[in-house]
């Protein structure tokens, strides 16, 4: 998806708060939009499994709530574009007790729904269960390690699952509100090597987040990527984000000789920690539940 960059003069830790005995699980259904108050101002936030680790609200709502930007600013990078945010610590109540969080707002809204977005990292309940559809017979569940974005401020980037690709870990994000499964260029390079991936078709402008569109091409795998019950045979590649995908071979896997696949990272040395795979509705439509179990540090995905 992107990555968080942080600009600050002073950092205050220990911002977690909440009710003395909060519920142990929150179940999220439908469109995920719930009533909230932020410093007493009523509003509505969408609970989004792919959202950053900071609740993000619109500038209009931040003004209504009387939020005043402090010394910590956030900048979320989507390719070469930075979505800059002011932040303040506020008291939130999403119906199950008051808790404190750092809240961000900027000119570019993460998603133009309700008054903003909040992810599982920032809800006080230990377990967040997203019910995507009714369960069906024959479903399987995979438990994946749960990690944050990495680094000192990795929690601001949200929560990811971790898989191994080419002997190295890769972060996986869950994004049911976007149609396509996407990999940034760095992740695509590794996936092309391990799954015999080939690029095809023209580049298509595709909205990522914050209303920002980036060029995306299609990559097909001769060997589908297995992620528990999911088998991923095709995905979109953000060809110039998080690396450069021009070294991935063209054509269809069926017509290509696997020995001819060329995967070359151009320019400066690439950091594999920036590689991201984002599962969209094309894959998550096969799933009934995503469970973020924070005490167990697991994300459990149940799909048919």
The alpha helices in 147-255, defined as continuous H runs, are 185-195
Domain that holds residue 76: 3-126
Structurally, how many domains does the chain consist of? 2
254 within some domain: yes
Strands in 148-229 per DSSP E = 160-165, 168-174, 182-184, 197-207, 213-227
Residues 144, 274, single domain; the answer is yes
Residues 144 and 228: beta-carbon distance below 8 Å: yes
Q: What is the CATH number of the domain that holds 118?
A: 2.40.70.10
Q: Is residue 133 in a domain?
A: no
Instruction: Please give the average per-residue pLDDT across 233-238, as a whole number.
Output: 97
Residues 150 and 184 placed together within one structural domain of the fold: yes
Same domain, 184 and 67: no
Residues 289 and 147 in one domain: yes
- CATH classification of the domain holding 264: 2.40.70
Q: What is the mean pLDDT of the chain?
A: 88
Percent of the chain with pLDDT over 70: 86
- 89: part of which helix (H) or strand (E)? strand 81-93
Question: What is the rounded CA–CA span in Å between residue 213 and residue 205?
Answer: 6
pLDDT of residue 18: 45
Cα separation, 83 vs 5, whole angstroms? 10
Mean pLDDT over 206-223 rounds to 96
| Helix or strand (DSSP H, E) at 62 | helix 59-64
Angle at 284 between CA 289 and CA 119, to 5 degrees: 65
What was the pLDDT predicted at 104? 97
Does residue 252 surpass a pLDDT of 80?
no
Based on the fold, state whether residues 91 and 153 are members of the same structural domain. Answer: no
Quote the pLDDT of residue 2.
Answer: 58
Same domain, 160 and 270: yes
pLDDT of residue 15: 35
Q: Which residue has the higher pLDDT, 246 or 140?
A: 140
In a domain, 131, yes or no: no
Look at residue 100 in the predicted model and tell me its pLDDT: 97
At 230 the pLDDT is 97
Residue pair 148/154 in contact by the 8 Å Cβ criterion: yes
Q: Enter the pTM of the model.
A: 0.86
The token pair at 178 is 């976007």
Rounded distance, CA 122 to CA 159, Å? 10
Phi first, then psi, for residue 6 (nearest 5°) are -120, 130
Q: 162 has which bridge partners? A: 171
pLDDT of 263 strictly over 70: no
Question: Do residues 190 and 292 share a domain?
Answer: yes
Task: Give the pLDDT confidence of 116-135 residue by residue, as tens digits.
Answer: 999 999 999 999 999 999 99
* Same domain, residue pair 234 and 157: yes
Q: Is 80 within a domain?
A: yes
Q: What is the pLDDT, as a whole number, of residue 168?
A: 95
Q: What angle do CA 206, 112, 280 make, to 5 degrees?
A: 45
Any residues with CB less than 8 A from the CB of 4 and at least 6 apart, and which? Answer: 52, 74, 75, 76, 77, 149, 153, 156, 157
Q: Is the C-alpha dihedral spanning 194, 291, 271, 266 positive or negative?
A: positive
Strand-pair category, 98-106 with 56-58: parallel
């Amino acid at each position: 998806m992107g990555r968080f960059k942080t600009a600050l003069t002073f950092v205050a830790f220990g911002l977690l708060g909440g009710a003395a005995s909060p519920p142990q699980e929150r179940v999220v259904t439908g469109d995920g939009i719930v009533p909230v108050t932020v410093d007493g101002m009523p509003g509505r936030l969408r609970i989004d499994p792919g959202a950053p680790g900071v609740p993000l609200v619109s500038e209009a709502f931040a003004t209504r709530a009387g939020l005043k930007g402090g010394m910590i600013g956030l900048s979320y990078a989507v390719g070469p574009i930075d979505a800059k945010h002011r932040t303040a610590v506020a008291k939130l109540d999403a119906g199950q007790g008051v808790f404190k969080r750092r809240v961000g707002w900027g000119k570019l809204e993460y998603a133009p729904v309700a008054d903003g977005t909040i992810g599982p990292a920032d809800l006080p309940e230990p377990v967040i269960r997203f019910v995507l559809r009714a369960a069906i017979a024959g479903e399987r569940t995979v438990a994946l390690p749960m990690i944050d974005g990495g680094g000192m401020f990795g929690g601001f980037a949200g929560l990811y699952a971790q898989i191994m690709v080419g002997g190295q870990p890769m972060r996986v994000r869950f994004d049911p509100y976007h149609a396509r499964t996407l990999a940034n260029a760095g992740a695509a390079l590794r996936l092309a090597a391990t799954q015999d991936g080939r690029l095809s078709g023209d580049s298509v402008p595709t909205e990522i987040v914050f209303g920002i569109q980036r060029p995306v091409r299609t990559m097909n795998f001769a060997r589908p990527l297995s992620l528990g019950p999911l088998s991923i045979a095709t995905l979109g590649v953000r060809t110039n984000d998080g690396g450069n995908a021009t070294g991935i071979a063209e054509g269809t896997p069926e017509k290509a000789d696997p020995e001819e696949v060329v995967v070359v990272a151009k320019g400066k040395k690439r950091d594999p920690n920036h590689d991201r795979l984002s599962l969209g509705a094309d894959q998550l439509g096969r799933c009934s539940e995503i469970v973020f179990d924070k005490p167990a540090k697991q994300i459990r995905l149940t799909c048919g």
